[in-house]
Amino acid sequence: MTTRDRGDGRATAQADHFDSYYGRRILKPPTWEAATIGGYLYLGGLAGASSVFAAGGQLTGRPRLARAGKAAALVGVGLSLAALVEDLGRPARFLHMLRTFKPTSPMSVGSWLLAAYAPLVGVSLFTDVTGRFPLAGRAACYGAAVLGPAVTTYTAVLISDTAVPAWHEGYREMPFLFAGSATATAAGSALIATPAAENGPARRAAVLGTALELAAGRLMRHRMGMVGEAYERGRAGVLMRTGEALALAGAAGAALSGRGGRAAAVLSGAALMAASACIRLGVFSAGVASTQDPRYTVVPQRERLAGRLSKT
């Protein structure tokens, strides 16, 4: 009955005319707050990849890079747990997560992952700063580095395993987008916190991470078809474009800052971190926006039905 966006030049022929109940949304928008759960997605990435940097620094004799990685990981995981509790409303509610273990629930898997990872990060930084129990500290640091990559990418599964069109349709590329974004942001924090003598790996990782972040993001939106529009419009569009511009600037700065001074490295690092934050929040906003308009639910499902009929 209600047709929306009729005459919108960008819409496809099928997207141009569709039925809905007075234009009302079909799906419920996520109950999650952008600040807490959007932040949670970002901080988990910062923490997980920073743990890998910490282990690399420890292995290759770069103590300041190692310590910066451990500190960033602890700040990241600490704040992300705080954001999760804030979203749940009460700390005791987090304990309900540990009542059971369910492989069908990415949130359950993630809770156990964080429950194993957070103490390792805490121990590794504590022993580094105090100089006590160095052996346990090294073991904890390597343990955190083994779990770290999973901490950075499970959040992509967490949001993709929903009916939210802009999240679910991207489930193949989302983990790689998060992987690149986490690598770039951890590299950014290392660039800010470590002297030039030790920041070589961070400079190279900044470029690698940014390349993956931008490529996975582009591929994801392209493969989604019309749902990809949710990433280009409104608040999500602004965040994604700002994030991409900052990422390019940050990666270029990181690549060129090798001979440059501290100021260039710090500036590039800050740009990389801001870029990742913008892109994660952009992904979050695009998901919310894609639940608000019934078009994103009806049109792809109609296309799927038409495809199934034409095959039989």
Site for other proteins in 44-63 (CB under 8 A): 48-49, 52-53, 56, 59-60
Contact flag: residue 168 with other proteins (CB under 8 A): yes
Contact flag: residue 38 with other proteins (CB under 8 A): no
Closer CB to other proteins, 9 or 104, in the complex:
104
Contact 54, 144 (CB under 8 A): yes
Measured between its terminal Cα atoms, the distance across the chain in Å is 30
The residue within the footprint of other proteins, chosen from 72, 179, 192, 286 (CB under 8 A), is 179
Could you give the string, one character per residue 90-119, with x where binding to other proteins holds by CB under 8 A and - elsewhere?
A: ---xx-xx-xx-x-xxxxx--x--------
Contact 223, 173 (CB under 8 A): yes
Contact 220, 171 (CB under 8 A): no
The two structure tokens encoding residue 203: 């400079």
The residue within the footprint of other proteins, chosen from 15, 46, 182, 220 (CB under 8 A), is 182
Closer CB to other proteins, 104 or 131, in the complex:
104
**How many C-beta atoms surround the C-beta of residue 27 within 10 A?**
16
Site for other proteins in 248-287 (CB under 8 A): none
Contact flag: residue 89 with other proteins (CB under 8 A): yes
Closer CB to other proteins, 157 or 264, in the complex:
157
Closer CB to other proteins, 248 or 298, in the complex:
298
Q: At closest approach, how far in Å is the CB of 128 from other proteins?
A: 18
DSSP letter at 257 equals: T
The two structure tokens encoding residue 88: 């749940």
How big is the site for other proteins, counted in residues (CB under 8 A)?
Answer: 82
| Per-residue CA distances from 188 to 43, 65, 200, 264, 278 (Å) | 13, 12, 12, 12, 14
The residue within the footprint of other proteins, chosen from 83, 191, 212, 275 (CB under 8 A), is 212
Amino acid at 37: I
Residues 6+ away with beta carbon under 8 Å from 84: 36, 37, 40, 94
Q: What is the DSSP string of 168-187?
A: HTTTTTHHHHHHHHHHHHHH
The two structure tokens encoding residue 134: 């160095």
Q: At closest approach, how far in Å is the CB of 134 from other proteins?
A: 21
Closer CB to other proteins, 102 or 132, in the complex:
102
The residue within the footprint of other proteins, chosen from 162, 225, 233, 241 (CB under 8 A), is 162
Site for other proteins in 13-32 (CB under 8 A): 18-22, 24-28, 30-32
Closer CB to other proteins, 132 or 222, in the complex:
222
Amino acid at 247: A
Could you give the string, one character per residue 230-249, with x where binding to other proteins holds by CB under 8 A and - elsewhere?
A: --------------------
- Provide the 3-class DSSP secondary structure of residue 33: coil
The residue within the footprint of other proteins, chosen from 152, 189, 194, 290 (CB under 8 A), is 152
Write the Ramachandran bin of 23: left for phi over 0, alpha for psi from -120 to 50, otherwise beta. Answer: left
